[in-house]
Amino acid sequence: MAVPDHRMARCLVPLPDESLPGFALRLGHRLRLPPGHILWRLGLLGAQTTATLAPSGRLFFIDPVKRERLARIIGATTGTVDQLTLHPLASRFPPVAHALGLPRPAGVLLKPRQIAPPWILSSFSRYCPHCLAGDGSAVQRRHGGPWLRRWRLATSFACVQHNVFLEHECPGCRRPSGLTLGGGWPGSLLLIGNPGLEDLHPAACRSDAERERPGVICGHRLDQPADTPPRPLPQHLADLQSRLDRLFDEDTAPEDAFAAFADLQTITALVLATWPAMADLVPTGQKAAVDEHLAAQETRLPGFLAQSAPRDDGVFWTYLPRSSIGAAAVLSVADRLLSLPDGELGQELAQLAPRCPERDNKRWGATWKLMDKDATLVRRAVVQQSLRRRPRPRIPSTAWSRRQVIPSLLALKIERRHGFAPENIPQELPDQWFRIFWTDANCPFPPHSRRFRRTAAILLVQAAEDMNAQQAAEYLGFPPGTNFLTTPAQQPVATGSDERTDELRESLYRLADHLAAIPATDHVDYRRRRRQHESWHLGDDAFAEFLERFVAANKRKPSAPADQLHEALSALIWSQVTGSEPCLAPCFRPPIAAPGRSTTKADPAIHLANRLRRDKPRSPYSVLLPLLADHAADLLATCQQSDSSLTVTIAGRHLAK
């Protein structure tokens, strides 16, 4: 049946900050129709033509076509329709931006995620009984007050207008208020619970009264005073709620609000992860609410699957307590910490450090990823500095074998970094880059340095593009049999090496951030260079010029055999131009070299190439370095790079193109 497209008669006007489900409930009550029929009439059912339920994703966003149509039906502007959803809050409230997958590439339509991030109450709504009772106007006396949009945010714990804590469950059935869980998954989150019922007041509980008897509706009026006396709202919590509400006002810059909520998210996770370390800052009743929240998480932990159910109270420390009192307690502690000067905040966090779980604990959820992405630089630095991992006995560098650290590093889950592409990663990391990655002052270059460099290069490619380690190695041009991905089985790791691996992971991200800061015009396409010179080797005439230079300067022939020196010089020039390892130069591979040619350091020509790179000025081979730089510069001129200036470095000598 086609949905009518004309304007509805006797339609209501959306109230300020009213949510889409609340508007449908009030309109259905006015027209004596089930709210599910109203959602159908508004064109908000699922995408399938046979859909009978409205998905909860409509809480976040209505696509432009449906939005324009809905506006026409209710006689409002598209902006008014958009205000019924959480979408306008995306520039101020990080969880909404994450739920919508923002930012998105140009031309890609928004599509809310099926599982909302923490701090979005997607399966229930808090509420204020006084607000639901209405403001006394004729319309609100008949159909009740609005279910507010802000009640779906975990940071809304109080109504400052009526000076009360928000409620989070129905006094009649003791189930979460506004529960919208259906019977199946996926798609078990609905926009409105039991949408086919038409005789319920908009403020009535729509939950099943008993789990064993579906269809028997609770129906308790949530706009009526509870049997228990109202809980007093302390003034400092009322002030906190007012300040949080003002972050959504037009007087507050969106970027300032976004940063404030991002910092608050990070600190609340720290408070919950280290609870009850700071429990003495809140009254007994609030502490009990937080204790109950964490205890409930512990009971769910054994059988928890990250994407198994659409809950608003998962096991992660990023979830605030469902109860308003518990949420207020955690937010007030975090707010008190954030109000401190940076130095004092660092001291407080340092005291929490001994109780802080390791960062790889899965209950952190996306805490650290979101902190790196959204938190302010100052607060991020304070947290990182204060929560440095506890010092452990440093493992001697000689204890790090390729059978221990390399498999550990390759098993890391690498987060994507923007600002550079995989082709901008050379096969062999330059010393300058590698020193950013490896900061051990006691050991400037670790044992198996080549393997470490290869590992770091592979991980950087993975940080720039979605590849596994083997694919990244092949992308960089490591031939099968020459890389370390086929090393023997991993040996038991020495005590404390997990700590060392974490340090190396942080070092990798430090290097990735350094690369991302390089202007795009200065990036080099190393993959293109490797392809352009995949068959290049030093010609005989050019090699003769090197021999003449050596004999003229040293009055004797080189001690190394001519064929080995020829290969070594060819490998050095190729490696400098392509950013690759000399041992992987074309001169050591077929068809130039014989099949099965060794590419290890034991090969005389490769050993000579490595020696030439390290030779001091007094070495007889040092006279060849300027000529090497000249040949490398000539090759660079053929690369057709967009770089305005390229620099070749050979044994410490620089030559600009």
- The Cα–Cα gap between 255 and 242 comes to 19
pLDDT tens-digit map of 62-110: 888 889 999 999 999 999 999 999 999 999 999 999 888 766 555 555 6
Token pair for residue 627?
């000529």
**pTM, 2 dp:** 0.60
pLDDT, greater one: 400 or 574: 574
- The Cα–Cα gap between 266 and 374 comes to 10
Same domain, 1 and 30: yes
Same domain, 473 and 570: no
Our measurement of the distance from residue 367's CA atom to the centroid of its chain's CA atoms, rounded to an integer in Å, reads 8
User: Which residues lie closer than 8 Å to 263 by C-beta, 6 or more apart?
Assistant: 338, 375, 376, 379
- Cβ(289)–Cβ(283) below 8 Å: no
Mean pLDDT of the chain: 81
Same domain, 404 and 377: no
Same domain, 1 and 134: yes
Give the residues across from 6 on adjacent strands. none
Radius of gyration of the chain (CA): 32
Look at residue 51 and give its three-state secondary structure: coil
Domain boundary, last residue among 488, 521, 554: 521
- How many CB atoms are closer than 10 A to CB 93? 26
Q: What string of DSSP letters covers 509-562?
A: HHHHHHHHTS-GGG---HHHHHHHTTT----HHHHHHHHHHHHHHHSS--SS-H
| 646 has pLDDT over 50 | no
| 397 has pLDDT over 50 | no
Instruction: For residues 49-60, give the mean pLDDT.
Output: 64
Same domain, 506 and 618: no
pLDDT of 115 = 62
240 domain residue, yes or no:
no
Instruction: For residues 583-588, give the mean pLDDT.
Output: 90
Same domain, 201 and 293: no
352 domain residue, yes or no:
yes
Look at residue 120 and give its three-state secondary structure: strand
Q: What string of DSSP letters covers 466-493?
A: S--HHHHHHHHT--TTTSSTTPPPPPPP
- How many CB atoms are closer than 10 A to CB 103? 9
2 domain residue, yes or no:
yes
pLDDT of 623 = 87
Same domain, 515 and 533: no
Residues in the chain: 657
Q: Which domain holds residue 567?
A: 529-656
| 398 has pLDDT over 60 | no
The band of 145, judged by pLDDT with boundaries at 50, 70 and 90, is very high
Same domain, 257 and 344: yes
203 CB-contact burial (10 Å; exposed 0-12 / middle 13-18 / buried 19+): buried
471 domain residue, yes or no:
yes
Same domain, 467 and 408: yes
pLDDT, greater one: 191 or 604: 604
436 domain residue, yes or no:
yes
Phi, psi of 509 (to 5 degrees): -65, -30
391 domain residue, yes or no:
no
Give a three-class secondary structure readout of 589-646. Answer: CCCCCCCCCCCCCCCHHHHHHHHHHHCCCCCHHHHHHHHHHHHHHHHHCCCCCCCCCC
pLDDT tens-digit map of 301-345: 776 654 444 456 678 899 999 999 999 999 999 999 999 999 999
242 domain residue, yes or no:
no
pLDDT of 194 = 83
- The Cα–Cα gap between 200 and 206 comes to 8
pLDDT of 112 = 62
Same domain, 465 and 507: yes
Same domain, 510 and 539: no
Domain boundary, last residue among 386, 410, 441: 386
Out of 236-250, 586-600, 630-644, give the one with best mean pLDDT. 236-250
243 domain residue, yes or no:
no
Same domain, 270 and 359: yes
Contacts 24+ apart (CB under 8 A), 311-314: 311/123, 312/116, 312/120, 312/121, 312/122, 312/123, 312/124, 312/154, 314/118, 314/365
In this predicted structure, which of 26-35, 230-239, 354-363, 534-543 has the lowest mean pLDDT?
Answer: 354-363
112 CB-contact burial (10 Å; exposed 0-12 / middle 13-18 / buried 19+): buried
pLDDT of 195 = 84
Residue 463 identity (one-letter amino acid): A
Instruction: For residues 271-283, give the mean pLDDT.
Output: 93
Name the domain count of the chain.
4
Phi, psi of 169 (to 5 degrees): -145, 160
Domain boundary, last residue among 207, 233, 259: 233
